[in-house]
Structure 1
Amino acid sequence: MRTLQFFIDGAWVDPAGPIRRLPVVDPATEEPFAEIALGDAADVDRAVRAARRAFETFSLVSREERLDLLRRILVVYRRRINEMGEAISREMGAPLPFAVSNQAGSGAAHLQTMIRTLEHFAFEELRGSTLVTREPIGVVAMITPWNWPMNQIVCKVAPALAAGCTMVLKPSEIAPMSALLFAEILQEAGVPAGVFNLVNGDGPTVGEALARHEGVDMVSFTGSTRAGVAVAKAAADTIKRVHQELGGKSANILLPDVDLTEAVTRGVAECFGNTGQSCNAPTRMFVPAEREDEAAAIAARAAARFRVGAAPGEGPVLGPVVSEAQFGKIQDLIESGLREGAELVAGGPGRPDGLNRGWFVRPTVFAKVSPEMRIAREEIFGPVLSIVSYENEDEAVRLANDTVYGLAAYVQSADLDRARALSRRLRAGNVYLNDPAWDTGAPFGGYKQSGNGREYAEFGLAEFLEIKGIVGWGAAP
């Protein structure tokens, strides 16, 4: 990989100015294993100009040409999927089997879904004498996070390509290696020069320059709500479209009719998936008040079964969290739970026994959590579960909705009709009933401070399109 270069206009190029280096750190060892170059506004400008030139022709290519391109990308991606998993495992700590099957696998899944979507998507319809057509929005700036690098990159790049857009990607500087490999995959698949560009850098420099650039028509951002606010403010002066998928504090409501052992055990596993580093993780578990102690005991047993270890090791369930800063934030929130009177039933502060190096967090469960506690309100982004009790269904809904976030919610019930009815009362962009399989065809995005717009399938494709009405198209001459 050309880690000290950027991919601009179909070629690997050196930064415009003197190289500013940033180490890429393995979170399992706390040791750097690579260096990347950090870009600046000049590099962003060069990439945006390349994307603007490429848009003039790529926006006009046929559906079949775009389908052929996506199919070629998928072929190359599948061939290099083990490399991709290894890169993700090293840069953000995911256990290797999970990194290959889930992390890298999510990219392949989004490519497959977008190919099926593009085969049948209706870009035009005639309404009376007016032709309504959906056209590519233009040059898209993409700013993506470290926690699910390929999921978030591909669910932006694939629909942008399907729409006929060109783009500049700024991946997370914490976990950039998978993005550099993805650029190699696109180059090998024959993406035309300037259609896809990549500039590494930090948010205040490269992210800010992309959001402000007058040559960018849209910003698609995934990350924290705090950073999303900064992106929206930077983009406001040029009235560009801003699409955001931000933070979450998802509720998991266990109704009284569930098999409590099964539902709690499943809920702990969902919360701890990806070491808790998922924006839609069900981190608030709501249980009937009369069964709170029982639920806490089940959750403690479930947490104790999680093995923690270095990503290349033999089958650890939880790898490290991504960085020292993230580790410190999680420790602070765990300590706040203790100070504010929550009952610690599993885990707690510090590293697990025997792990003195690496940013490993003890799988942690709190019970007797009240809604005003920080652990019940703030996004922790680590393997920390809060159990909250409720007296009746109305209170469960009220407490679940009592958050600035609205990305996801979960409902567990033996009565599917009851779960369906409850799902309609939850202010969240996605509601998952009884632990369903992941669906790349479902719209993904949030209410409130969890963002705006949707990703995945035709919902994601539509975000990269402008709607034009050509009045009189069908009128008699």
Structure 2
Amino acid sequence: MKNTDFYIDGAWVAPFTSSDLPVIDPSTEEPCATISNGSEADVDRAVNAARAALADWSTTDVETRLALLEKLYAIYQSRVDDMGKAMSQEMGAPIDYAKTAQFEAGAVHLEETIRILKGFTFEETRGPDLIVHQPIGVAALITPWNWPMNQVILKVAPALAAGCTVVLKPSEIAPLSSLLLAEMIDEAGFPAGVFNLINGDGPSVGAPLSMHPDVDIVSFTGSTRAGALISKAAADTVKRVALELGGKGANIIFEDADQDAVERGVLHCFDNTGQSCDAPTRMLVQRSIYADAVKTAQAVAVDQKVASAHESGAHIGPLISEVHWNKVQGMIQMGIDEGARLIAGGTGRPEGLPKGYFVKPTVFADVDNAMQIAQQEVFGPVLVLIPFDTEDEAVGIANDTPYGLGNYIQTQDSARALRIARQLNSGMVSINGEYLGIESPFGGVKQSGNGREGSTWGLEEYLEVKAIAGGAALL
């Protein structure tokens, strides 16, 4: 597969300079496609196209935008096999998982954007004044590799719905699904320049996009380190920056938790091969049930199947890349060196998988929250178990992290669950295995980022608020 063109101003165009990047299939370690690494000149061309299209697109009526988004939704739903294959190849999601969880994550966000747009109030009165919600302008969207369509559509759909024009830079190591989405947007008939896609790495494309004077908002999902760099690059032009970054979620399990709480928590941590920013990677267990929890976590990890992303069935696949595999291996070794008790997994590949970026599902027990294995985001199927005695101690451990994305509580005491949820310093809290609904906001605090994505909050991220004094009387 050769996908070296960019989608700019309604057409597929060759980059100004030729610099190829291979896309590596993490199950085989072999190239499965080739893309181009863009340049500052390519960024200028994409941003200029978006800026030129903004005047017309930003003034279209809601019905026009709705019709195009609904057509895109129908096209997207018809391409499940193609999209699933692309995501399985590019980032190693097992094919059945890619066609279900990964694919549907994009579909539901597109569907929710359409629902919100139908009822959103772009103009309202406050006393004698008129409050107007207007598109912020040109949106640079920089997305990660771990949930490709979830994160791309979570940004692209509300930006287009708001009336913004878009330049998308997907992850250079998982770009194939975004190229497919560009084909769908073209087929749906969005006007030229409204949506643009340019591939490339952070220094070549991400940085020029972030600092470009004609970009009005940068929305980024990825590592905290990269988010800080993007914020610095955007500072000189004082543009809006929305960040969804890392996490080190605590899963607090009390002695009255349901009997499946520990198993559920381990499997949730391992989901998507542990490559989810909101994964519950620190399991805090009340001491009275801690020994049993350790045994259960060990058994679940040992039973966790690891296999190629191209195999059907329920299993986890490889990590995304060699660089990331080495990072995760280093973190596992760090946990061993720090004195955490390794009860499952460890360094190296699983038996029978000599090739591919596969990792052993790993569990550490008797972890001190000050250890690096408990403080740093591993982004792999690596779980740490930490005992606690009291409710206050559990809250203190949970909050003792630079991150604040998602936390989890397991208890049958409703009053305690709500009391703790209010004390946890995070953007999201889940109780007893409940997942947040599609109508809720997604995002974090501290070094997990700022702003919110999803539903109404996702649309509002791409809108500016204008107050017109005395405007109510002019309607």
Query: What is the TM-score normalised by the length of structure 1?
Result: 0.98
Report Cα offsets for 1:211-250 as digits up to 9, x if no partner.
0100000000000000000000000000000000000000
Which SS does the other structure have where 1:334 is aligned?
helix
Corresponding residue for residue 464 of structure 1? 462
Matched residue type, 2:331? L
Q: What is the distance in 2 between the residues matched to 1:115 and 1:476?
A: 30
Partner SS, residue 215 of structure 1: coil
Counterpart-to-counterpart distance in 1, 2:386 and 2:260: 18
Structure 2: distance between partners of 1:316 and 1:425: 36
Please give the alpha-carbon distance, in whole angstroms, between the structure 2 residues aligned to 1:285 and 1:117.
Answer: 36
Match of 1:405 in 2: 403
Q: How does 1:321-470 map to 2 (within 5 A)?
A: 321-470=319-468
Q: Any idea what SS the aligned residue of 1:474 has? A: helix
Percent identity of paired positions between Structure 1 and Structure 2: 55
Question: Distance in 1 between the 2:280 and 2:327 partners?
Answer: 19
CA distance in 2, matches of 1:269, 1:113: 27
Report whether the alignment pairs 1:248 with 2:253: no
Question: Which residue of structure 1 lines up, in the alignment, with residue 14 of structure 2?
Answer: 14
Number of the residue aligned with 1:202: 201
The residue number in structure 2 matching 1:126 is: 125
Cα distance in 1, alignment partners of residues 188 and 414 from structure 2: 45
Q: Is the 8 A contact 2:47 2:167 kept in 1?
A: yes
- Structure 1 residue 370, shift from structure 2 partner: 0.3
Per the alignment, residue 178 of structure 2 pairs with: 179
Contact 1:21 1:36 in 2 (8 A): yes
On the 8 A contact 1:38/1:200 being kept in 2, the answer is yes
Conserved 8 A contact 2:430-2:436: no
SS in 2 for 1:311: coil
Alpha-carbon shift at residue 2 of structure 1 (Å): 6.0
Shift of residue 122 of structure 1?
A: 1.3
Is the CA contact 1:309–1:316 (under 8 Å) kept in the aligned structure 2? no
3-state SS of 1:409 partner? strand
Residues in 2 aligned to 1:443 and 1:314: alpha-carbon distance in whole angstroms: 33
**Cα distance in 1 for residues equivalent to 2:131 and 2:472:** 11
Letter in 1 for 2:16: A
TM superposition shift of 1:343: 0.8
Q: 1:417 deviation in Å?
A: 2.6
| Per-residue deviation, 1:418 | 1.8
Q: Quick one: distance in 2 between partners of 1:353 and 1:438?
A: 36
Residue 13 of structure 1 aligns with an amino acid whose one-letter code is V
Give 1:231-242 correspondences, 5 Å limit. Answer: 231-242=230-241
For 1:318 and 1:476, locate their aligned partners in 2 and report how far apart those are by CA, in whole Å: 60
On the 8 A contact 2:257/2:410 being kept in 1, the answer is: yes
Q: Report the counterpart of residue 96 of structure 2 in structure 1.
A: 97
Residue aligning to 2:213: 214
1:5-33 CA-to-partner distances (Å, cap 9, x unmatched) read 0000000000012x100110000110011
Matched residue, 1:311: 309
Amino acid at match of 1:389: P
Which of 293, 296, 299 pairs up with 1:295?
293
Q: What is the Cα deviation at residue 441 of structure 1?
A: 1.0
Mean alpha-carbon deviation: is it higher for 423-432 or for 291-300?
A: 291-300
After superposing on structure 2, the runs of 4+ consecutive aligned residues of structure 1 that deviate more than 2 Å are: 474-477
Contact 1:310 1:316 (8 Å CA) reproduced: no
Q: Which digits, 9 at most, give the CA deviation of each residue in 1:71-105, with x for residues without a partner?
A: 00000000012210110001000000100101111
Conserved 8 A contact 2:255-2:288 = no
* Conservation of the 8 A alpha-carbon contact between 1:24 and 1:36: yes
SS of the residue corresponding to residue 439 of structure 1 reads coil
Tell me the equivalent position of 1:4: 4
- Write the letter of the residue equivalent to 1:457: S
1:426-469 alpha-carbon deviations (Å, 9 max, x no partner): 00001011111452211000010100000000011000000000
Please state how far the C-alpha of 1:290 moved relative to its aligned partner.
2.9
Shift of 1:476: 7.8
Count of aligned pairs:
475
**Structure 1 gap segments, 5+ residues each:** none
Alpha-carbon offset, residue 305 of structure 1: 1.9
| Distance across 2 between alignment mates of 1:159 and 1:114 | 6
Separation in 2 of the partners of 1:200 and 1:410? 36
One-letter amino acid matched to 2:15: P
Indicate the residue corresponding to 1:36 in structure 2.
35
CA distance in 1, matches of 2:50, 2:272: 34
| Cα deviations by residue, 1:351-370 (Å, 9 ceiling, x for unpaired) | 11111000000011110000
Q: Which amino acid aligns with 1:79?
A: S
Matched, 1:58 2:57: yes
RMSD across aligned positions (CA) = 1.1
Amino acid of the structure 1 residue aligned with 2:333: E
- Counterpart of 1:276 (choices 274, 277, 288) is 274
Distance 1:255 1:166 in 2: 48
What residue identity is the alignment partner of 2:50? A
- Give the conservation status (yes or no) of the 8 Å contact 1:141–1:216: yes
| CA distance, structure 2, for counterparts of residue 123 and residue 252 of structure 1 | 39
| 2:136 paired residue number | 137
CA distance in 2, matches of 1:476, 1:468: 15
The letter of the residue matching 1:234 is A
The residue aligned with 1:106 is 105
